[in-house]
Amino acid sequence: MNVVMIGAGYVGLTTGTCFASLGCNVCCVDLNEERIRNLKHGQIPIFEPGLGELVAQMTAAGRLDFSTDLAAAVKSADFIFIAVGTPARADGDIDLSYVEAAARQIGRFIPDEAIVVIKSTVVAGTARAIGQILKSAKGGRNVYVASNPEFLREGSAIDDFMKADRIVVGSDEPATAAAMRELYRPLIEMGIPFISTTTTDAELIKYAANAFLALKIGFINEVANICENAGGNVTTVAQGVGADRRIGQNFLQPGPGFGGSCFPKDTRAFAATGRRYGAPQTLIERLIEGNEERKAMLADRILAVLTEKRRSRVAILGMAFKAQTDDVRESAALTVVSALTKAGVEVRGHDPKARGPAQSVLGTEVIWHEDPYAAAHGADVVAILTEWDDYRALDLKRLADLMNGKHLFDYRNLLCPESVTRHGLFYHGIGRPLVKPPLDDRRKSAGGSHLWADVAASPI
């Protein structure tokens, strides 16, 4: 089967490469000539575990190719996936212009039997509208359109494709559903459920699924706030809650608020869809606000322990919106850094993978370091924002010795509070009460720090 993937970004490249590994002949097409040139030389534009190796294997096997020539690529295609960006508009809705432009460009060239599959995340009704665009570009001849949302998480995208919980395919005529079932047959035979729906239902499934997952995170973050004040431990509470199979353990990990290219954008688009159809998604509207407030609140917590802000230095460990990615889009770290620098605090930064992308957003707001200890050197506060394994394994004695102050904010609950306080540091986790170091250790480690008086009067 010949598959064309329009858009060689994170979704298109991963999906195309995975289809090649299932035996399809795949051509990934992108307007970005440099990207295509690099891909032809095996250079992957994103950090995604295992993807580089799979791209190399599939290219060597002759089943994966890259091109900028859209018209030539689609001429012999059986399936044409549209996997281009759907950026957010100022009103929260999404901009469909790239999807529409792709449809207009391919309309004249696609074979009569080819199926155009919308992979991009799009609002309800888009597949049908794209069908109309294609039909008029084809001079009124029939076209086949399917909606096939992706559920790929950055960092585990290949597994999420190959071992998906389900494959959702929306189509408005049985022949298209049957052809899509055939395309996915290798995965269906491995036991992955194939859910066949209308195009509108498939579009809604994608948004409703992401909105629900984001709600779970928002919910546990609010439970974490209660735990902090009531003396509870959110990890234990989440375990007990998630043990109910109706709820489940996944996506109950509290943190600094969700980020990334999907949840923030998709929840806003879902809320905008609700408003458009006169069905306000009030839970989601509140979730979106609460998530942004949380990021700002966690920055305020750090600022609250710094009495002389303009003389203070904070080391931020982790800029990516989560581990195993170099993506910083809507990362809580960006909000925290901006709030700190706005208050006059000097920010030092480290991230094992996302330094480049973070640097291009934050510019000179942050002084960057190659390792977390160099970043922590002389810092009054160290704050962990991303759950990289490098930070789980920190040498806490070394860290405490290098620091000027005594506050460690663990916004991913990576560390054991007692092993932090043992080295004279105050431990500020999420959903756990503040843990202070034993008094002797506090005195011992206070040294000549100008913050000792502040620590004693710490408002947290």
Token output for 91: 């009103």
262 binds ligand UDX (CB under 6 A): yes
The nearest distance, CB 310 to ligand UDX, in angstroms, is: 31
Among 19, 79, 207, 263, binds ligand UDX (CB under 6 A): 263
Number of residues that bind ligand UDX (CB under 6 A): 19
Single out the segment in contact with ligand UDX by CB under 6 A; choices: 87-95, 259-267, 347-355, 434-442.
259-267
Contacts of 235 (CB under 8 A, 6+ apart): 413, 431, 432
- For the beta carbon of residue 283, count every other beta carbon within 10 angstroms: 15
- Inter-residue contact 8 to 70 (CB < 8 Å): no
Nearer to ligand UDX, 153 or 275 (CB): 153
The nearest distance, CB 175 to ligand UDX, in angstroms, is: 28
Single out the segment in contact with ligand UDX by CB under 6 A; choices: 150-158, 345-353, 400-408, 426-434.
150-158
Bridge partners, residue 171, by sequence: 146
Binding mask 316-345 for ligand UDX (x = CB under 6 A): -----xx-----------------------
Nearer to ligand UDX, 353 or 442 (CB): 353
Nearer to ligand UDX, 154 or 410 (CB): 154
Query: What is the DSSP track for 264-306?
Result: HHHHHHHHHHHHHTT---HHHHHHHHHHHHHHHHHHHHHHHT-
Residues 191-220 that bind ligand UDX (CB under 6 A): 210, 213, 217
Q: Which of 131, 108, 44 is nearest to 326 (CA)?
A: 44
d(CA 100, CA 112): 19
Three-state DSSP string of 87-133:
CECCCCCECCHHHHHHHHHHCCCCCCCCEEEECCCCCCCHHHHHHHH
d(CA 432, CA 216): 19
Helix (H) / strand (E) element for 227: namely helix 199-230
The nearest distance, CB 259 to ligand UDX, in angstroms, is: 4
The nearest distance, CB 17 to ligand UDX, in angstroms, is: 16
d(CA 347, CA 127): 46
Angle at 299 between CA 298 and CA 301, to 5 degrees: 65
Residue 227 among the catalytic residues = no
The nearest distance, CB 189 to ligand UDX, in angstroms, is: 23
351 binds ligand UDX (CB under 6 A): no
Nearer to ligand UDX, 47 or 263 (CB): 263
Single out the segment in contact with ligand UDX by CB under 6 A; choices: 19-27, 245-253, 334-342, 439-447.
245-253
Residue 133 has, within 13 A of its CA and on its CB side, a CA count of 20
The nearest distance, CB 401 to ligand UDX, in angstroms, is: 30
Name the residues annotated as catalytic: 262
Residues at the site binding ligand UDX, with contacts judged by CB under 6 A: 150-154, 210, 213, 217, 251-253, 255, 258-260, 262-263, 321-322
